[in-house]
Amino acid sequence: MKQSSSVEELAAQLRNELNRYSPGGKLPSSRALVERFRVSPVTVSRALAQLAAEGLVVTRPGAGAFRARPRTPLTRTGDTSWQEVALSADGAADLVPRTVDASGVTICLAAPPPGVIEFNGGYPHPSLQPEKAMAAALSRAGRRPGAWGRPPLDGLPELREWFARGIGDTVTAADVLISAGGQSALTTALRALAPPGAPVLVESPTYPGMLAIARAAGLRPVPVPVDADGVRPALLADAFRATGARVFVCQPLFQNPTGAVLSADRRPDVLRIAREAGAFVVEDDFVRRLAHDDAGPLPRPLAADDPDGVVVHVSSLTKATSPSLRVGALAARGPVLERLRAIQVVDTFFVPRPLQEAALELVGSPAWARHLRRLSGELRARRAAMTAGLALRLPGLALPHIPVGGYHLWLRLPEGADETRLHTAALRAGVAFTPGRPYFSAEPPAAHLRLSFAAVAGTEEIAEGLRRLRTACDEVFGGPGAAETVRQAPAGL
């Protein structure tokens, strides 16, 4: 059993037994708990720390653990109705009102209720994370001289160099800033490149977290359609001309949510069109390390073929490791780099040095290459299991593109389908997916859903999740077999 599971179980048992002790009463010693529950002293210590954090026990060094005395609840209820006026007036003078709406992001971040299969997850399941390698890296990092001191504002030079090498030989460590993950880097980039009220071109569909960043900054997302070969250059040029935008945000590799890869013939067109418009391209290279083992050679980042400083490149370690290893990078050339640096310093000062040191230890260890190889094979197996299961159980859902990288599939629902109703029915059936609507900055062409195959425990859970999704489809589309026979819309991204 994993230690984290043992800690949870011991904490639950102790929590249930607290009523045996009067408030202020002493609990058994750590040694007694070790012998009684046959767990390690570390497990006992962590379980007691968890109960202390919950306010249920109080630990006193040298004395032991005691049941906490009940706190008197605050009974006075204030009047917060004034905040409605203050918050609504905040953006009254803005050309484009700032909207802080995290709903499209939290649907991917929030864990579903117990027993619900997580097809909506945006991060690898713990079984796919390099937990032992990360723990060892963090332990080694903590012993490095100066590991708990103040890091350079731009990030550790060795880590900046590592990210630069991953982008291409045209990028140096001097072009790189270490960020607190990809979301933070995107926030910095949009704040640096576009003033409030400005239009920003985005792929359609696109990552809801980026749309949330843009709207929170008072920017106006303008959609540019994506097909199986990525963004369509002619429509991108039209959008630049029509809006006067100076920023285009894209994911050229395994785009979220479609999984599309920007084709070789479109790559130079995108850079040329942006350069002619006097605009920046923000390249969100978020899953380069999640290519499947049948992907073949990957195209270089756009930033590697950009001598003129058009591209602001964003990458991160998070997707390939853990949601809590929030270490990423911004890369840019020219005067914009100083603006990016200034905004990042004002917002966050710097990324904590122990986290940077741990990331450097991890990517420099032999375990890193082994982890990436294992992850690549596991993702391909899960993708194959999900696509085969969809063909068997839900052939009425259109799967226009099967990606060879990333962690999800993008499906188009039958014509006229209500994705909100299906989402509710799926939760009742015990499976969670991500509705398609939050991925569109304007009216969507059809109803969609996104299914993640990385956040579940394995292929058996994928099969069970699809069985439950079939139950929900039968409920919404009108009984057994209805999802197979309902009339299909054209299969497009």
Residues 291 and 432 occupy one common structural domain = no
HSE-CB of 329 using CA atoms within 13 angstroms = 29
Q: pLDDT: is 291 or 96 the higher one?
A: 291
Cα gap 61→47, rounded to integer Å: 16
The reply to whether 385 and 332 lie within a common domain is: no
* Domains: count for the chain: 3
In this structure, the answer to whether residues 359 and 376 fall within a common structural domain is: no
**Across the beta sheet with 247-250, what order do the strands follow?**
176-179, 328-331, 311-316, 280-284, 247-250, 199-204, 220-227, 230-231
CB 400 within 8 A of CB 493: yes
Domain of residue 32 covers 3-67
Q: What is the pLDDT of residues 164-202, one digit of tens each?
A: 999 998 899 999 999 999 999 999 999 999 999 999 999
- Determine if the peptide bond prior to 257 is cis (ω within 30°): yes
Say if residue 300 is in the same domain as residue 438: no
Length of the chain: 493
pLDDT in tens, 327-340: 999 999 999 999 99
416 and 334 both lie in a single domain: no
Strands 220-227 and 199-204: parallel
ω into 205 cis (within 30 of 0)? yes
Cα separation of 217 and 204, whole Å?
Answer: 19
pTM (2 d.p.): 0.81
Instruction: Determine, yes or no, domain membership for 492.
Output: no
Exposure pattern of 260-294 as b/e (b: 16+ CB <10 Å)?
A: bbbbeebbebbbebbeebebbbbbbbbbbbbbbbe
Which of the pair, 162 or 78, is modelled with greater confidence? 162
Average pLDDT on 245-254 reads 96
Mean pLDDT of the chain: 89
Q: Which two tokens stand for residue 201?
A: 């071109």
169 and 280 fall within a common domain: yes
41 and 113 both lie in a single domain? no
What is the pLDDT at residue 85? 62
In a domain, 259, yes or no: yes
| Backbone dihedral angles phi then psi of residue 292, each to the nearest 5 degrees | -80, 160
Same domain for 265 and 160: yes
Average pLDDT over residues 56-72: 85
Q: Where are the alpha helices (DSSP H) in 325-418?
A: 336-348, 353-363, 366-393
My answer on whether 259 and 237 are in the same domain is: yes
